[in-house]
């Protein structure tokens, strides 16, 4: 089955201690969309300006993303620039220029409204709602978020959590949202906000799923070198939802394996700036790492 992915489609200028890469293809929908494309058909929903490089549109197309839902508006594409510290664990935003993203209203093509799987990648909760409002009985809805929305759009976010099946967030966001330092103790509190399934992402330390049949602890794929972690969380959830949508059988059964696929797609993301490594990856590369990750994490 196919997956609809809405989120930001951006240009990212990324500085690390070793390099500076201006105007890379970025944004939560770009990372999640390309990650999901290895496993199933993807309907992309986003907005870009008329400055959006053709090579990036071509890159989407090479990955088979359906772009009927990608609006092109007069003006500038959303531009984020940020800088990573030496160990890649902390980053700070240098500049955010919203451009056409400021007035973005995701309008779904009619054909998108029956997409069975929906990933509301990181974007303002009001826009995530607006997408859901247009969907006709989706089979499975996942939402990602970021600390910004916890700070400025909490009521919208809390209302959204009652409408999704899976909520994905990172450990510090979980701690902030339910005022609980212990990740394991935070999980039941997150379920109380609505979602049947919750996944807490812990970066290099993997992720933890909580659902009706209990917990599942998924490892991250061990990387000797992280070039650029931007978009790793989006790639994780994109790979996960792509795998779920592309798999037969009950979601509950597939979710564990989907997390492993998410870990692996995220690992490729970290190995290059922006999407440069991910877009050079094949399904066979992914399967090889999945096999390896299972081998090194199961007794």
Report the interface residues with a second copy, using CB under 8 A.
86-87, 181-185, 202, 204-206, 208, 214-217, 219, 222-226, 256-257, 260, 294-299
Give the shortest CB-139-to-a second copy separation in angstroms.
22
Q: Which is nearer to a second copy, 51 or 204 (CB)?
A: 204
Give the shortest CB-181-to-a second copy separation in angstroms.
4
Q: Which is nearer to a second copy, 65 or 183 (CB)?
A: 183
Give the shortest CB-40-to-a second copy separation in angstroms.
20
Q: Which is nearer to a second copy, 89 or 114 (CB)?
A: 89
- Collect all residues with Cβ–Cβ distance below 8 Å to 25 and sequence separation of at least 6: 11, 12, 53, 56, 59, 274, 275
Give the shortest CB-177-to-a second copy separation in angstroms.
16
Give the shortest CB-83-to-a second copy separation in angstroms.
17
Q: What is the CA radius of gyration of the chain?
A: 18
Give the shortest CB-182-to-a second copy separation in angstroms.
6
If you count DSSP H runs as helices and E runs as strands, how many of each does the chain have, helices first? 10, 13
SS (H, E, C) 193-221: CCCCEEEEECHHHCEEEEECCEEEEECCC
Give the shortest CB-240-to-a second copy separation in angstroms.
13
Q: Which is nearer to a second copy, 176 or 297 (CB)?
A: 297
State whether the Cα torsion 97-150-215-206 is positive or negative. Answer: positive
Q: Which is nearer to a second copy, 87 or 282 (CB)?
A: 87
Give the CA distances from residue 151 to residues 147, 178, 202, 220, 231, in Å, rounded to whole numbers and listed in that order. Answer: 6, 13, 20, 28, 21
Residues in the chain: 299
State whether the Cα torsion 255-113-265-249 is positive or negative. Answer: positive
Q: Which is nearer to a second copy, 216 or 272 (CB)?
A: 216
The upper half-sphere exposure of residue 51, i.e. CA atoms within 13 Å in the direction of its Cβ, equals 11
Please check whether residue 143 is in contact with residue 168, taking contact to mean a CB–CB distance below 8 angstroms: yes
CA distance 197 to 59: 32
Give the shortest CB-173-to-a second copy separation in angstroms.
16
Write out the two tokens for 229.
């972690």
Q: Which is nearer to a second copy, 137 or 224 (CB)?
A: 224
Q: Which spans in the chain are helix H?
A: 28-37, 54-62, 125-134, 147-152, 154-161, 171-178, 183-191, 232-245, 251-270, 283-297
The three-state secondary structure class of 84 is: strand
Q: Which is nearer to a second copy, 61 or 89 (CB)?
A: 89
């Amino acid at each position: 089955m196919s997956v609809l992915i809405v989120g930001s489609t951006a240009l990212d200028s990324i500085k690390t201690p070793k390099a500076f890469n201006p105007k890379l293809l970025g944004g939560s929908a770009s990372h999640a969309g390309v990650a999901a494309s290895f496993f199933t058909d993807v309907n992309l929903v986003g907005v870009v300006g008329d400055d959006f490089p053709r090579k990036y549109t071509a890159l989407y197309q090479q990955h088979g993303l359906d772009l009927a839902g990608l609006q092109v508006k007069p003006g500038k594409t959303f531009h984020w620039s940020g800088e990573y510290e030496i160990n890649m664990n902390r980053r700070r935003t240098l500049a955010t220029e919203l451009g056409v993203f400021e007035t973005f209203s995701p309008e779904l093509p009619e054909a998108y409204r029956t997409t069975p799987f929906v990933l509301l990648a990181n974007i303002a909760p009001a826009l995530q709602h607006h997408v859901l409002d247009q969907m006709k009985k989706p089979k499975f809805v996942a939402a990602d978020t970021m600390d910004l929305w916890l700070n400025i759009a909490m009521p919208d976010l809390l209302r959204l959590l009652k409408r999704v099946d899976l909520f994905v967030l990172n450990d510090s966001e979980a701690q902030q949202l339910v005022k609980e330092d212990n990740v394991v103790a935070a999980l039941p509190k997150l379920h109380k906000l609505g979602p049947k399934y919750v996944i807490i992402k812990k970066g290099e330390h993997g992720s933890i799923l909580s659902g009706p049949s209990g917990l599942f602890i998924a490892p991250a794929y061990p990387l000797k070198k992280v070039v650029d972690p931007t978009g790793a969380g989006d790639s994780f959830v994109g790979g996960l939802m792509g795998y779920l949508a592309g798999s037969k059988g009950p979601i509950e059964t597939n979710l564990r394996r989907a997390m492993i696929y998410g870990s692996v797609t995220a690992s490729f993301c970290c190995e290059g700036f922006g999407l440069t490594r991910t877009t050079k990856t094949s399904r066979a590369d992914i399967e090889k790492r999945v096999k390896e990750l299972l081998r090194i994490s199961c007794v």
